[in-house]
Structure 1
Amino acid sequence: MNKKFWKNTALAGIMTFSVTGTTVYAHDELGGSGEKGENLAGVELSVPLLEGSKNLGNLKEVASIPLKEIQTGVKNSTADVYAYKGYAYLGTHSANGGAGGVRVFDMKDPSNPVEVSSFASIKGTWQEKVIVKSVNTPDFKGDLAVVSVQQLDRFNHDTKGGFVLYDVTNPENPKKLGFWESPSPARGTHELYLTVQGNNIYVLTADCYADYYSHGKNMDVSFVDVSNPTNPETIYEFDPREYIPEVNDANYDGYNWTDEEGVKRTAFAHSVKTDDNGTTAYLSYWDLGTIILDISDAKNPVYLGRTDFNNTVQGAAHSMDLARGGTVLVETREVFGPVREGFESAYGYTMIYDIKDKTNPKLLSTFKTDFTEKIPGGATVHDPKVHGNTLYLSHYSGGVRAVDISNPSSPVETGAYIPSKSNIWGVFVDRNYVLASDMGQGLKVLQKNGSTNQSQQSSYSMIE
Structure 2
Amino acid sequence: MARVGKRSGIVAMITALALAATALPAWACDEEQPEFQAPAAASGHAHGKSGKDTGAVKNVELVGSVPGAQGAIALDFLQYGRQDVLLVSGQFGLKSYDISKDPAKPVQIGELSMPGLWETEDTEVDPKRKLVFLARDPRAFGGNVQTGKSGVYIVDAKDPAKLTVLSFVELPAGHTTSCIEDCRYLWTGGPAKAADMPADWGGRPVWVTDIRDPRNPKVFAKPIDTGRNDGKTDYVHDVQVDATGIAWAAGRGGVRGYRTSGWHWDPVANRIRKATPWDPIPYAGGGIDELAAASKFMHNSYRQVGRRAGDGANPWHYGGGDLLFATEEAFNPGCAADGVLVISSLKGSYGGEGWRSSKEKPFRLNTVGTWSVAGQEGSNPDSGDCSAHYFDIRGNILVQSFYAQGTRFIDVSDPTNPTQVGYFRPVDAASWEPAWHRGLTYVADNKRGIDILKLTK
Does TM, normalized by the shorter one, top 0.5?
Answer: yes
Equivalent residue for 2:295, pick from 311, 314, 325: 314
Q: CA deviation at 1:2?
A: 5.6
Return the TM-score normalized by structure 2: 0.74
SS in 2 for 1:426: strand
Q: CA deviation at 1:231?
A: 0.9
| Contact 2:78–2:130, Cα closer than 8 Å, also in 1 | no
Partner residue in 2 for 1:193? 178
Partner residue in 1 for 2:310? none
Change (3 A) 1:81 1:169: same
Distance 2:229 2:93 in 1: 40
Deviations 1:215-266 (A, max 9, x none): 369943111111111111123643555x559325xxxxx6xxxxxxxxxxxx
| Contact 1:209–1:220, Cα closer than 8 Å, also in 2 | no
Q: CA deviation at 1:362?
A: 2.8
Partner residue in 2 for 1:352? 343
Partner residue in 2 for 1:285? 251
Partner residue in 2 for 1:328? 323
Partner residue in 2 for 1:139? none
User: What amino acid does structure 1 have at the position aligned with 2:287?
Assistant: T
Change (3 A) 1:213 1:369: farther
Partner residue in 2 for 1:173? 162
Q: CA deviation at 1:432?
A: 0.8
| Contact 1:88–1:104, Cα closer than 8 Å, also in 2 | yes
SS in 1 for 2:159: coil
| Contact 1:219–1:239, Cα closer than 8 Å, also in 2 | no
* Alignment length (residue pairs): 382
User: What amino acid does structure 2 have at the position aligned with 1:394?
Assistant: S
| Contact 1:28–1:34, Cα closer than 8 Å, also in 2 | yes
Distance 1:394 1:219 in 2: 25
User: What amino acid does structure 2 have at the position aligned with 1:126?
Assistant: W
Matched, 1:273 2:257: no
| Contact 1:211–1:220, Cα closer than 8 Å, also in 2 | no
Partner residue in 2 for 1:437? 444
Which sections of structure 2, spanning at least 5 residues, go unmatched?
4-11, 48-53, 262-275, 307-320, 354-364
Q: CA deviation at 1:364?
A: 0.7
Equivalent residue for 2:208, pick from 203, 213, 223: 223
Q: CA deviation at 1:113?
A: 0.9
Distance 2:336 2:195 in 1: 28
Partner residue in 2 for 1:408? 415
Equivalent residue for 1:425, pick from 420, 428, 432: 432
SS in 1 for 2:36: helix
Distance 2:132 2:125 in 1: 4
Q: CA deviation at 1:442?
A: 1.0
| Contact 1:314–1:335, Cα closer than 8 Å, also in 2 | yes
Partner residue in 1 for 2:152? 163
Q: CA deviation at 1:114?
A: 0.8
User: What amino acid does structure 2 have at the position aligned with 1:63?
Assistant: G
Distance 1:236 1:388 in 2: 40
Matched, 1:233 2:224: no
Return the TM-score normalized by structure 1: 0.73
Partner residue in 2 for 1:459? none
Distance 2:222 2:35 in 1: 29
Matched, 1:132 2:111: no
Matched, 1:64 2:60: no
Deviations 1:6-33 (A, max 9, x none): xxxxxxxx8374543356533444xxx3
Change (3 A) 1:16 1:419: closer
Q: CA deviation at 1:117?
A: 0.7
User: What amino acid does structure 1 have at the position aligned with 2:218?
Assistant: E
Distance 1:401 1:2 in 2: 45
| Contact 2:422–2:455, Cα closer than 8 Å, also in 1 | no
| Root-mean-square deviation (Å) | 3.3
Which sections of structure 1, spanning at least 5 residues, go unmatched?
4-13, 53-58, 69-75, 94-99, 136-141, 249-253, 255-266, 453-464
Partner residue in 1 for 2:230? 246
Distance 2:14 2:74 in 1: 32
Partner residue in 1 for 2:7? none
Q: CA deviation at 1:285?
A: 1.4
Partner residue in 2 for 1:257? none
Distance 1:411 1:385 in 2: 14
Distance 1:175 1:269 in 2: 29
Change (3 A) 1:179 1:426: same
Distance 2:418 2:146 in 1: 48
User: What amino acid does structure 2 have at the position aligned with 1:405?
Assistant: V
Within 5 Å, give how 1:4-403 maps onto structure 2. Answer: 15=13, 17-21=15-19, 25-29=26-30, 33-39=31-37, 46=47, 47-52=54-59, 59-67=60-68, 77-85=71-79, 86-93=84-91, 100-108=92-100, 109-119=102-112, 121-122=113-114, 125-129=117-121, 130-135=123-128, 142-150=129-137, 151-154=140-143, 160-182=149-171, 184=172, 189-197=174-182, 201-210=184-193, 214-215=197-198, 219-235=204-220, 237-239=222-224, 241=226, 243=227, 246-248=230-232, 267-278=234-245, 280-286=246-252, 288-296=253-261, 297-304=276-283, 305-310=285-290, 313-325=294-306, 326-338=321-333, 346-355=337-346, 358-359=349-350, 361-370=365-374, 374-376=380-382, 377-403=384-410
Distance 2:410 2:445 in 1: 20
> Percent identity between the aligned chains?
19
Change (3 A) 1:156 1:333: closer
| Contact 1:62–1:110, Cα closer than 8 Å, also in 2 | no
User: What amino acid does structure 2 have at the position aligned with 1:195?
Assistant: I
